[in-house]
Structure 1
C-alpha cells in the first residue's frame, strides 16, 4: 500500500461501550499495557518498513543513509508527518481519551453542585 492509499483510508471510529475487562490489580496498569502494545506494534511495523526500504535501496545500488541525511522536507511532507504523529498519539492515548469523554458525558450541573456541596461539608 503506498502513502496515498493509506491517507485515503476512511476514519474508523472505534468506541466500545460498557466496562472494560481488568487484568491487573494495580490501577492504571491495564491502560499502560495497552499503550505499550500500541508502541510495540508501531515499532515492529516501522522496523519492517525500514528493512524493506534498505533492501530495495541496496538492490538498486542506492546509498540510503546518505540520502536520508541530505533530505530536506517541504511543508506538505512536514504536515503529513504531523498528521501521522497525531493519529499515532490518538491511538496511543485511546483509553485515556475515552475515559475523559465518558466522564464528560456523565458530568451534569447537578453533579457539579453536589460535589461542591460535599466538599464544603468536609
Structure 2
C-alpha cells in the first residue's frame, strides 16, 4: 500500500477570493497556487508557511451559493506514490469509485475520488513530479 499522509482537506466555498483572504488573515495560511481544472471549478491550495504536510483546498463551483450550514468539508485527500496501482487495488476490493478513471490536472498531478463506508468522499492524490 502506498498511502502515506493526508494530502489536503477540501472545503466548499462561495467566493474563492473571500475565503483565501480569510484563511490568510485569520489562520496565517499562505496561498500556494490557484488552479482551474475546468470551467466548472476553481481551486486554491493553502498551507502554513514552510509546511510540507497537509494543505487546505478551497473549492469554488458556480452553484456553491446555497451551501448548507453543515457538511461543507467536501473531501479528505491522501497522498499516494503509485496512483495507478492504488486505483486497481480499490477496484479489486470492490470499493465504490466516484471517478472510474484517474484524472490529471493542468499541473500534472493526478487524482481520483472514491466512497468510504458512509458514502463520504475520499481522494487519492499523486502530486506532479517536482523538477
More helix by share: 1
TM-score bracket, normalised by the shorter chain, equals under 0.3
TM-score, normalised on structure 2? 0.20
Q: Which has the higher strand share?
A: 2
